[in-house]
Amino acid sequence: MTQSTTRTSSVPPLPSPKERRRLREAKAVTEKDMAVALGVTGATIRSWETGRTTPQGRRREAYARLLAAFAAETDTKKPAKRKRRPKGAGSSGAGQGPAKQPEPAPANPAPTPEATPSPAPAPAPAPAAARKAPVAAPSPSLKRPLNRRPVRTVKADSRSQQDAQRRKEKAETLAGAAAAEAAKLTPAQAFDELYAHSSPALARQTYLLTGRRTLAQESVERAFQLAWQRWPEVAVDRDPAGWVRAAAHDYATSPWHRFRRAHRHPDPANGDRDGRPLRRALLDLPPVYRRTLLLYDGLGIDLPEAAAETEATSPATANRLLHAREAVAERLPDLEDPAVLHESLRELAETVSAPAVAPASTVRIGSERRATFWTRVAIAVTVLIIGATAFTVVTAPTRYEPTPAPGQRVGGIPPPHGPQKLSEQDLKLRAKLRAVPLNGPGRLVPRIP
């Protein structure tokens, strides 16, 4: 008992599906290499990273330990980059090596080339500064790195600002779920908060994907019904709104809707006339291109998350995005610039008229009724199978019955009698009998000669 307890406690927790994909891509490890390391297939790794399945047993332990090692390596690399940024952005005496120094230390080695004739830099800290100065301050060799580092820091700062902005937007989308956790609401109240916060924007997104109001409304309601059925899983997800968005987009872009008569043709365009050409250009794209372009340029989701949501690799998602942009640029030359296209899609996703959605209570009740119906159907089918199995067991023979032997020819038996060809005498007799009347004693009583 103690061995199993210690073994369970030593296994690190398994991160979320999106975090698993991020850690693998941060280490530049392919799905095939990960599958070979864990003894599974590439499809299994893909299903683990999309959240469709969860590893169990020893594979879960090995997978968790491997991801923990990836996380530890990425965490050890991050502090080194953070330490280099302030040194590159500082003054000319900032490249002094990894050793920590007090604040006055950088001021002493900087004037060492010019302060050799003056007695000022010769106080007590002179030996330590003199030892470090010739190693870290050869000015000719440090001019080029010092000129390049500000560019890197500016790029790093811009990336950090973009990451901060994306995190802020994600925090705003998760405001409903965060408020529910903070207030310790009931599951129904937390679901209602998530529905009220995410359903309008999700309805607009699905309407842009499909061009059909009825299908957009149905997709949003089905996604939230599925979320309510799996609420224990959705409530602890890092991005509940993203979970519901992926379910709604999957349902909206399903190819089976083309067989439904009501969804064969898109609805007539209405609303702002400025956004109609872009909406037509979106609907002319293939569904996967349309979804990738909306996620990346319309919603501002980064490439790895968009790839995980569309269940594709990052290179494939990047190619889809490039082809989608080229197709839109051919239709609308004004949107050839990716920044202009991004701003136009973002504005269109926020301003397009969204179809009306049902109240949260109606969605929850519909989800429960749907779950009850399919549970009863499953029970009925199970009972039917059990009954058929029981009937087969009861009526089946209890002993072996050999099959009859094949027939054999037997001789000496006369052929069976049947209609034969009549002779002349038989024909005369038949004619005589037919000539006699049907009724009368002549037929019944014989005459005495």
Grade residue 280 by pLDDT with cuts at 50, 70 and 90.
Answer: confident
182 lies in the same domain as 75: no
User: 110 near 93, Cβ under 8 Å?
Assistant: yes
Task: Find the range with the poorest average confidence among 28-32, 132-136, 410-414.
Answer: 132-136
3-state secondary structure of 352: coil
238 lies in the same domain as 354: yes
b/e burial code for range 35-73 (CB count within 10 A of at least 16 → b): beebebeeebbbbbbbbeeebeeeeebbbbebbbebbee
344 lies in the same domain as 203: yes
Domain presence at residue 415? no
User: Residue 29: left if φ>0, alpha if ψ -120 to 50, beta else—which one?
Assistant: beta
Domain presence at residue 145? no
Q: How far apart are CA 68 and CA 364, in angstroms?
A: 38
Domain presence at residue 244? yes
Average pLDDT over residues 66-85: 68
Task: Report the predicted TM-score, pTM, of the whole model to 2 decimal places.
Answer: 0.49
Task: Find the range with the poorest average confidence among 27-31, 210-214, 354-358.
Answer: 354-358
185 lies in the same domain as 332: yes
**409: Cα separation from own chain's centroid:** 71
Closest alpha carbon to 267 in 216, 215, 213: 213
42 lies in the same domain as 184: no
Domain presence at residue 411? no
User: What are the pLDDT digits (tens) for 218-233?
Assistant: 999 999 999 999 998 8
212 lies in the same domain as 316: yes
> What CATH number did the domain enclosing 8 receive?
1.10.260
Q: How far apart are CA 343 and CA 335, in angstroms?
A: 10
187 lies in the same domain as 78: no
Q: How far apart are CA 27 and CA 18, in angstroms?
A: 15
222 lies in the same domain as 80: no
User: What are the pLDDT digits (tens) for 174-202?
Assistant: 555 454 454 567 888 889 889 988 888 89
Domain presence at residue 96? no
Whether residue 147 has pLDDT greater than 50: no
Q: How far apart are CA 402 and CA 412, in angstroms?
A: 29
Last residue of a domain, one of 69, 84, 99: 84
Q: Which two tokens stand for residue 98?
A: 């990894």
Q: How far apart are CA 436 and CA 372, in angstroms?
A: 84
User: What are the pLDDT digits (tens) for 95-136?
Assistant: 344 444 444 444 344 443 333 333 444 344 433 333 333 333
Closest alpha carbon to 218 in 226, 350, 310: 226
Q: How many residues does the chain have?
A: 449
Whether residue 286 has pLDDT greater than 80: yes
72 lies in the same domain as 176: no
240 lies in the same domain as 351: yes
User: What are the pLDDT digits (tens) for 1-24?
Assistant: 444 444 445 678 888 888 888 888
User: 66 near 40, Cβ under 8 Å?
Assistant: no
DSSP 310: T
DSSP 116: S
Whether residue 285 has pLDDT greater than 80: yes
pLDDT given for residue 255 in this prediction: 84
User: 96 near 61, Cβ under 8 Å?
Assistant: no
Last residue of a domain, one of 84, 103, 118: 84
Q: How many domains does the chain have?
A: 2
Domain presence at residue 274? yes
Higher pLDDT, 244 or 408: 244
pLDDT given for residue 440 in this prediction: 56
49 lies in the same domain as 195: no
pLDDT given for residue 389 in this prediction: 96
pLDDT given for residue 169 in this prediction: 66
pLDDT given for residue 445 in this prediction: 58
Element (H, E) at 302: none
Grade residue 394 by pLDDT with cuts at 50, 70 and 90.
Answer: very high
Whether residue 443 has pLDDT greater than 70: no
Grade residue 353 by pLDDT with cuts at 50, 70 and 90.
Answer: confident
Q: How far apart are CA 220 and CA 224, in angstroms?
A: 6
Domain presence at residue 286? yes
pLDDT given for residue 441 in this prediction: 55
Last residue of a domain, one of 84, 106, 123: 84
Domain presence at residue 167? no
Q: Which two tokens stand for residue 257?
A: 């809707």
- The burial class, CB within 10 Å (0-12 / 13-18 / 19+), for 293 is buried
Chain mean pLDDT for the chain: 74
By residue range, what is the domain housing residue 280? 172-360
208 lies in the same domain as 352: yes
Whether residue 150 has pLDDT greater than 60: no
